[in-house]
Amino acid sequence: MGAQLRELRQRIRSVESIKKITRAQELIATSRIARAQQFAEAARPYSQALVRAMEAAAERARLDNPLLEGVEEPRRSAILVVTSDGGFAGAYSANVIRQSEALAGLLREQGQEVVPYVVGKKGVSWFTFRGRELGGQYVGFTGKPSYADARKIADDILDAINTPTEEGGVDEIHIVSTHFRNMVTQEVRARRLFPIMVEDVPEEIHHAEAGAVRSDNGGTGSGAAGNGRPARTDVLPLYEFEPSADEVLDALLPQYAGNLVYTALLDAAASEWAARRRAMKNATDNAGELQESLTRESNSARQAEITQEISEIVGGADALAAAGSE
């Protein structure tokens, strides 16, 4: 009985230590979510201005850019999979990988070869363990991404789509990442980044509203990053392009690609911290429940031990009394 009581007390101390760790992780994740949201808010004005300039340039350019014109029958596609570097985030990375595998299966059914570009140690480990060849791997920044990290990824995928498929390039670029809706809800989204769909503009409003840059999910501008906004109806300012709209568009497209990846990374970072906060809160609650259960079990064991000791004392006293009466 004494050995059981010692074991229970040791388990209670262990659970208490785990509870302190998970509680600390929960508090850290809560503070990081706010910072990730602040970074996303700070990047929004630049994104909006870039999108408006892109729309105006795309409306006047010849649109003979591989990032704007897709092929009729794509043969090779890249999928940018955004997972996390660290653990303690529940099924965050597993959900992204599951969605990317579903998208890859759909593309293979269409006769395409799929090349994964993976962000985060969790995703890299998953694909490497299964012997998958990666087009690129990027680790060490998922919790706090910078524009330099996003630009490195964007440059790699742009090189891929600008390279002919016969030489190892791709025809389309897709991204699978987690969209942050609120502290409770984060959803995995799969969408196409490139080629971009550009809507033609009627001549009568040629100088009033520029053509909308769209993704295949119907979003415009930053909707190419998956926000699903309707077509623009506001009036864009008139631009004069020097030396030409085509050259300006060629210069803006890499910036646009970097911004798409950057906003997706910021959104995924906020989602990762929210998922980690939720997972750590559940772990803390479970540890508290386990601690209470072990405490009750320990109290029961202690009471049983005391009862046994009292029984042994009473039994001994009765035996002495019986021996004295003889």
Tokens read off for 299: 């109290």
Contact residues for 10 (Cβ-Cβ < 8 A; gap 6+): none
Chain CA centroid to CA 54, Å: 27
User: Helix 245-325 and helix 147-161: axis angle, to 10°?
Assistant: 120
Show Cβ contacts of residue 210 under 8 Å, excluding neighbours closer than 6 positions: 52, 55, 56, 58, 59, 201, 232, 236
Q: How far is C-alpha 27 from the geometric centre of its chain's CA atoms?
A: 19
Confidence of residue 118 (pLDDT cuts 50, 70, 90): very high
Residue that wins the pLDDT comparison between 304 and 174: 174
Lowest mean pLDDT among 144-153, 237-246, 293-302: 237-246
Task: Over range 126-145, report the average pLDDT.
Answer: 94
Output helix, strand, coil percentages for the chain, rounded to the nearest 5: 60, 10, 30
**Which of these ranges, 42-46, 228-232, 252-256, 281-285, has the smallest mean pLDDT?**
228-232
Out of 66-80, 173-187, 200-214, 231-245, which region has the weakest mean confidence (pLDDT)? 200-214
How many whole angstroms from its chain centre is CA 245?
Answer: 35
> Does residue 250 carry a pLDDT above 50?
yes
pLDDT at 292: 92
Global pTM? 0.78
Contact 124, 118 (CB under 8 A): yes
Predicted local distance difference test score (pLDDT) of residue 235: 55
What percent of the chain has a predicted confidence (pLDDT) above 70? 84
**What value does the CA radius of gyration of the chain take, rounded to a whole number of Å?**
30
Q: Is the predicted pLDDT of residue 221 greater than 50, yes or no?
A: no
- What is the DSSP annotation of 120-188? SHHHHHHHHHTTPPPSEEE-S-TTS--HHHHHHHHHHHHHHHTS-GGGT--SEEEEEEEEE-SSS-EEE
Judge whether 215 and 226 are in contact, CB under 8 Å: yes
The vertex-250 CA angle with 49 and 215, nearest 5°, equals 60
Q: Domains for the chain: give ranges and CATH numbers.
A: 27-280 (3.40.1380.10)
pLDDT at 228 over 60: no
Is the CB of residue 174 less than 8 Å from the CB of residue 191?
yes
Q: Is the pLDDT reported for residue 129 higher than 50? A: yes
Q: Strand, helix or coil at 81?
A: strand
